[in-house]
Amino acid sequence: MSPFRSHMDIALAEAEAAALRGEVPVGAVLVDPAGQIVARAGNRTRELADPTAHAEILVIRSACAALGSERLPGHDLYVTLEPCPMCASAISQARIARVYYGASDPKSGGVAHGPRVFSHPQSHHIPEVYDGIGEGEAERLLKDFFLARRR
């Protein structure tokens, strides 16, 4: 299995765990320049009563705390859904090298949609972005979650 797929599989497992907690099923994994996973998380906005507790923010906070640095150069972020504008901005602030995401998010995404944070002239750091990795599974998790909530 390619590292891209196996890291995304862990992000998908975090998304599934988030769904079981009643959170929007989004998961993220942060990988250091040596290829080691340094943080993994799913959304915890409800549990923490914190609108900023998106999976991406949680892994960035955790990795920065462990490293004692506000920047994560050379790190790769895997996330099951296109990052929102808040997370895209945090990814840029953290100087993350590469972002791999699964499903696209026309409604709330901030990378390929909406403000397109990384293409904005105010973005001082632009990561490499790879989309559509594990897309089908990520979409299925989100669809099932929102269907179940509507019932």
Stretch binding Zn ion (CB under 5 A), from 30-38, 42-50, 58-66, 78-86: 78-86
- Do 79 and 102 form a contact (C-beta atoms < 8 A)? yes
Q: Is 64 annotated as a binding residue?
A: no
Tokens of residue 126, six digits: 């632009």
The answer to whether 54 contacts Zn ion (rule: CB under 5 A) is yes
The answer to whether 87 contacts Zn ion (rule: CB under 5 A) is yes
The answer to whether 88 contacts Zn ion (rule: CB under 5 A) is no
- Do 19 and 43 form a contact (C-beta atoms < 8 A)? no
- Do 21 and 28 form a contact (C-beta atoms < 8 A)? no
Stretch binding Zn ion (CB under 5 A), from 15-23, 34-42, 47-55, 131-139: 47-55
Stretch binding Zn ion (CB under 5 A), from 31-39, 43-51, 80-88, 121-129: 80-88
* Residue ranges in 92-151 that form contacts with Zn ion under rule CB under 5 A: none
Q: Is the Cβ of residue 54 or residue 75 nearer to Zn ion in the bound state?
A: 54
**Which string of DSSP letters, residue by residue, matches 49-108?**
T-TT--HHHHHHHHHHHHHT-S--TT-EEEEEEPPPHHHHHHHHHTT-SEEEEEE--TTT
Q: For residue 23, give the DSSP letter.
A: S
Q: Is 82 a catalytic residue?
A: no
The answer to whether 45 contacts Zn ion (rule: CB under 5 A) is no
Residues with catalytic function = 56
For binding to Zn ion (CB under 5 A), which residues are involved?
A: 54, 84, 87
